[in-house]
Amino acid sequence: MRLAFCVLVPVAVVACSSSSDYAEPIINKQADDPCDPGSVGTSGGSLPPVDAGSVPVTLPGAAPGIGFDDLRFSATLSQILVPAGRSGNFDFVDPSSEVASPVGGFASSPTYSGDDSFGVTSADEGGGVVYATDRTNKTLTVIDGKARKVMATVMLAAAPGYVRYVAPTNEVWVTEPASNQIEIFALPMTDETPPKSSTVVSVTAAESLAIDPTSSLAFTNGPSTTYAIDVTKRMVTGKWSNGCKTARGLAVDPAHGWVMVACDGGLVSVLDEKTGMTIGGVTAGASLDQVSYDPTTLRLYVPSPTAAAMAIVHLDSKSGMPTILGSVDTPRGSHCVVAAGGRELFVCAPAAGQLLFVNDPF
């Protein structure tokens, strides 16, 4: 992979602010505001974001823009999984060559209004097979990850939010926020047979979805609540305040038992997945959406589309307490990112229809 140019400047720390996202106190009768003297979180002073340089990867059908939402990295396929919205494509992007290989057949549009809810918007991989959801057509599509061809497409019960493969039960789960549910698909024994909708789990306004295969738990966000779900019992086992008024992105660290939640208003909370207790929180810009976590470095990457910067948050290996190491420049409107390992990141640039390869400079 080409190396991105990196300018070394003083570490950037996102400033504390009085975000409207802070909800009622969660522990010890204290508000979980990292800038408050009684807070459980940590943050620091403000410095400008680092210009870490970037290498653009222009996707097929990029013009006039692509409303990205969900980005994933498949270690099995060694590919970035890119649901490319209105382009009508699902793209495999090789992080070593930065070459995109499209699979077409999804809803498409010649125009782009900035909307990130058109066409194929979410995907995940399990056993070398990719599962992608089309929000416009309300479908779940199964793609052979090696042959790069569509194997099956089935209808969903409602418009999808996010799709994830659940390894402990060999199922595919799809959030359907408008219907307040997660639809569960049983996977067949052979690739020729389409997945079959088997049941639903009722969760209010379920949006993002993250799976901890080690503990057989799934996590999803409602507006101000994070839910823990036992995937074997298909039962909600935890309902926790996350400090948000509008919760967005979600990530888990199975080895440490941490759940990370990004709030629209700028707060990033870290919760204990066993108890739901808040470990800590930091502020990282505003209008937060999708995040990506690298368990090898204990770093959470948090783009802010309005700040045109991405915060790099480190979690303490013992306590899980988050600290912002700094931030890097990103295009305005960039709200999603995926970590590909080795501190290599791909950040979405919707207006250009590109992914930007960036090296974590911290």
pLDDT of res. 85 = 97
Residue 81 tokens read as 């999984």
pLDDT tens-place string over residues 213-236: 999 999 999 999 999 999 999 999
Three-class DSSP labels, 276-341: CCEEEEEECCCCCCCCEEECCCCEEEEEECCCCEEEEEEECCCCCCEEEEEEEECCCCCCCEEECC
pLDDT of res. 12 = 35
Which whole number is the average pLDDT over 26-37? Answer: 34
Instruction: Give the N- to C-terminal CA distance of the chain in Å, as an integer.
Output: 19
Contact (Cβ atoms closer than 8 angstroms) between residue 349 and residue 334:
yes
pLDDT of res. 46 = 61
Kindly list the structural domains of the chain, giving each domain's residue range(s) and its CATH number in brackets, ordered by start. Answer: 55-359 (2.130.10.10)
Contact (Cβ atoms closer than 8 angstroms) between residue 335 and residue 303:
yes
Q: What does the alpha-carbon distance between residue 125 and residue 75 come to, in Å, rounded to a whole number?
A: 9
Q: What does the alpha-carbon distance between residue 80 and residue 336 come to, in Å, rounded to a whole number?
A: 13
The position carrying tokens 């979690």 is 315
Band (191; pLDDT cuts 50, 70, 90): low
pLDDT tens-place string over residues 57-106: 999 999 999 999 999 999 999 999 999 999 999 999 999 999 999 999 99
pLDDT of res. 193 = 84
pLDDT tens-place string over residues 230-276: 999 999 999 999 999 999 999 999 999 999 999 999 999 999 999 99
pLDDT of res. 141 = 97
What strand order describes the sheet that includes 171-176? 163-166, 171-176, 181-186, 196-202
Residue 121 tokens read as 């918007």
Mean pLDDT of the chain: 88
Q: What does the alpha-carbon distance between residue 129 and residue 286 come to, in Å, rounded to a whole number?
A: 35
What strand order describes the sheet that includes 79-83? 72-74, 79-83, 90-94, 99-103
Q: Which of 14-23, 110-119, 138-147 has the lowest mean pLDDT?
A: 14-23
Of 56, 80, 86, 54, the residue nearest 68 (C-alpha):
86
pLDDT of res. 207 = 85
- The whole model's pTM is what? 0.88
Q: Which of 27-36, 81-90, 177-186, 297-306 has the lowest mean pLDDT?
A: 27-36
Q: What does the alpha-carbon distance between residue 328 and residue 235 come to, in Å, rounded to a whole number?
A: 40
The per-residue b/e assignment along 279-305, b for 16 or more CB within 10 angstroms, e otherwise, is bbbbbbbbbbbbbbbbbebbbbbbbbb
The 3-state DSSP class for residue 156 equals coil
Band (337; pLDDT cuts 50, 70, 90): very high
% of residues, the chain, pLDDT over 70: 87
Q: What does the alpha-carbon distance between residue 236 and residue 238 come to, in Å, rounded to a whole number?
A: 6
pLDDT of res. 190 = 73
What type of residue sits at position 30? Q
The position carrying tokens 């070593």 is 96
The 3-state DSSP class for residue 342 equals coil
Residue 218 tokens read as 């799934």
